[in-house]
Amino acid sequence: MCERLVCFKGSWHHGRRMSSAGPANLVQRVLSGEQRAVARMLRRVDDRTFGYLADLQQLYPHTGRAYLLGITGTPGAGKSTLVDGLVALLRARDLRVGVLAVDPSSPFSGGAILGDRIRMQRHCLDDKVFIRSLSTRGHLGGLSRSALDSARVLDASGCDVILVESVGVGQDELEIAQVVHTTIVVSAPGGGDDVQAIKAGILEVADVLAVNKADRDGADSTVRDLEGMLSLAPAAAGPWRGHASHAAPRRTQATPPRGVWSVPVLKLVAAREQGLEELWRACEAHRAHLNETPAGQERLRAKREAELSRVWRELVIEHAEHALGELLTQALERVGSGEDPYVLAQALVAQLADRPR
């Protein structure tokens, strides 16, 4: 297995050349929902295997039907248990479900223990459930680089709902909100300093706030804290959010302004599957908000723009690495010897700009 650079329609893509490109009908097999083909395609996408971009281009016209639901929050809040319970609830509705469970990679070895799916073993024999573990591979933001591409594959294969479980670092997982339609932020009582609840990232990213393990002491206090923080929250941080400004306390705001989403705070006990029905109803309400309100439509538009930006940036970097070649290698050696990285970086940009198009 060796690395090479491949050109698709004039753009250079960095891919991994496999000894066999696989059967030509792999895309069609994915579209028919064949699980073995889906697993193989997900591996190609995650590894950036030679030809994967062309595969995604063929699959894209068949996507857009699935509902992407993100689950994030602090470690130990019960995210994997919640995902397991949601899968059971969705299967009871005869929906086809995909799960992408992201685990952190070691910054030293690059390896990852993909253990989240251990809690979902009861679904392993269900041919209407596809569970895929992904490692971050050093990617920041709580997801892996291939998370959205993998969701596209599951969407094209016929999944009705795709659950994306992030790493769970807590306060700065904004990327998941740009990937999924609805983001559930999970917390649990007794997790430590109450100041954690008011930090910007973990609160502003939520479309639904879920207080799990609500049978523990302190659950009502956690709910009150979260509602109090929401009542003080500023207006939406960007056009892709569309949350209510909550200028008045939530209890006095009986009718939120039209087109503005008011974040619910729900209690549940995922291990006993208590409160999941109410949680799913809240998610369905948010899905309707996205599809039926101007604020929701604006968020969907911004989500598509963010996807283009991500793909474009990756291709630009890969093209630049190919075009610079030995010059980049030399610059890396020079900066390792103590030369100014800013000067070297500007020189590389100048070299790239001067190259014939």
Report yes or no on 328 lying in a domain: no
- Residue 170, domain member (yes or no): yes
- 320: Cβ contacts below 8 Å, ≥ 6 apart: 348, 352
Q: Using one digit for the tens of pLDDT, what is the confidence trace for 176-211?
A: 788 899 999 998 887 654 555 545 556 778 899 999
CATH number at residue 230: 3.40.50.300
Any domain includes 128: yes
pLDDT in tens, 29-43: 999 999 999 999 999
Q: Is residue 333 part of a domain?
A: no
CA angle (289, 290, 293) in 5-degree steps? 65
Residue 307 forms part of a structural domain: no
pLDDT, residue 8, reads: 35
Per residue in 240-278, pLDDT (tens digit) is 444 443 333 344 344 444 568 889 999 999 999 999 999
| pLDDT range class, residue 319, cuts 50, 70, 90 | confident
Residue 11 has pLDDT above 70, yes or no: no
Arithmetic mean of pLDDT over the chain: 78
Least confident of 68-82, 251-265, 274-288: 251-265
- pLDDT class of 313 with cuts at 50, 70, 90: confident
pTM to 2 decimal places: 0.80
The range of the structural domain enclosing residue 84 comes to 63-292
Residue 51 covered by a domain: no
pLDDT in tens, 217-243: 888 988 888 888 887 765 444 444 444
Considering its fold, how many domains does the chain have in total? 1
In the structure, what pLDDT confidence band is assigned to residue 137 with cuts at 50, 70 and 90?
Answer: low
Using CB atoms within 10 Å of the CB of residue 75, give its burial: 0 to 12 exposed, 13 to 18 middle, 19+ buried. exposed
With respect to residue 352, please indicate whether it lies within any of the assigned structural domains.
no
Domain presence at residue 327: no
